[in-house]
Amino acid sequence: MKIEKLEVHVVAVPYVRVVKKYRPKEPFERPDPIVRVWNDDGLCGIGESGRGGSVEEIRRQFKIIKGKNPLDLYPNDYESGLMQAIYDLQGKALGWPAYRLMGRKVRDKVPMAFWTVELATPEETAAEALYAVERGFKVFKWHTHPTRPETTVERVKAIYNAVGDDLAIRIDRGYPWTFAFTVKIARQIERYNIECFEDPLPHKSVGLYRMLRSKIDIPLAWHIHSAEEALVAVKNEAVDYLNVSAKPDVVSDISAITTPERVSLWLQISGIGCTGLKDAFAAHIGAVTENATLPGDNLHFLKENDLLKPHLKVKDGFMDVPEKPGLGVELDMEAVKDYRIDYIIET
């Protein structure tokens, strides 16, 4: 059993609704490489690099794994699309769902958050909140406006007027705020159903985070990518939650650090710009991550097609963990071809 062939299908799948209004060109400016890798015995592994993924890096790394047995490879050593394809091949070869290659399963379904774009008006944000509640979501994340951060309060009130407390609000400060401004905004919205503030200040300001936690009644979160960042957060009691974007081995390390400290996580393995393939992979990671109890930012439903058959389903804010061997999902190759803007093959 040796790896012998690579296909890369570079796709541009448009967004839907409000995200499409404000980001109509992004799927074409930052297209998404879909990877298919074959063994000489006919098994095919699939993966998704994510928006803006490097085709040249995929091709370079494929040369390293070509001719090798996928069971001899450590998937986390490779870029995202190839990593997923190797997990898929390994799981299919063994007859195991991919989560069994990552750890002990602790849940059968993973929580999902809804999301909208930072430029959405209060009225648009409220309409998206209604859409989210109608589909069973319990948490709604959005970034603050880049030049009008004061609209944060207006958007929170608009959500409350639309859906009341049915939707917890996760606010990601995607642009610099000061300590004083963060306190000012927090005081105006504390009485609403605010799940947390994500990254309101630079991470290096750990002392300010401790002070901020004592000043406001809104939990704080960091978006992190490494175990080192988790250690800093825990040692300095800087935050209540962590948003984790990392490969399975790093997620496991972060969970080992934070579970004893009772710091809950959510996973942002795919985020915006990805299709159902990467969200399926994220579900496998969530299945084995003990303290990943908060709804994740894995957002295939913001695309007009998830490129899978059957499509992934989010019900009551949860998605089932796939149980078939490998990633447990199948690409809809007709849809892939419909959205494809480039195609590469290596043998």
Write the pLDDT tens digit of every residue in 282-314.
Answer: 999 999 999 999 999 999 999 999 999 999 999
Q: How far apart are CA 274 and CA 21, in angstroms?
A: 18
Q: How does residue 33 score in pLDDT terms, banded at 50, 70 and 90?
A: very high
pLDDT of residue 65 exceeding 90, the answer is yes
- Average confidence score pLDDT of the chain: 97
Q: How far apart are CA 144 and CA 299, in angstroms?
A: 18
| Of 275, 328, 331, 282, the residue nearest 305 (C-alpha) | 275
* End-to-end CA separation in angstroms for the chain: 15
18 C-beta neighbours (distance < 10 Å), count: 20
| Over residues 91-118, mean pLDDT | 98
The model's pTM: 0.96
Structure tokens at 193: 């159903």
Phi, psi of 235 (to 5 degrees): -60, -35
* Per-residue pLDDT tens digits for 110-142: 999 999 999 999 999 999 999 999 999 999 999
Residue 298 near residue 279, CB atoms below 8 Å: yes
* Per-residue pLDDT tens digits for 188-209: 999 999 999 999 999 999 999 9
- CA 332 to chain CA mean position, Å: 21
Q: How does residue 175 score in pLDDT terms, banded at 50, 70 and 90?
A: confident
Spell out the domain ranges in the chain: 3-96+331-346, 109-320
Q: How far apart are CA 198 and CA 140, in angstroms?
A: 13
Question: In sequence order, which residues have a C-beta less than 8 Å from that of residue 347 and are 6 or more positions away?
Answer: 4, 5, 6
Q: Which CATH class is domain 3-96+331-346?
A: alpha beta
Query: Helix (H, G, I), strand (E, B), or coil: what is residue 106?
Result: coil
Fold match between 3-96+331-346 and 109-320? no
Q: How far apart are CA 266 and CA 37, in angstroms?
A: 30
Degrees (nearest 5) of the Cα angle 53, 15, 301?
90
In terms of C-beta density within 10 A (0-12 exposed, 13-18 middle, 19 or more buried), how is residue 53 classed?
buried
109-320 topology per CATH: TIM Barrel (3.20.20)
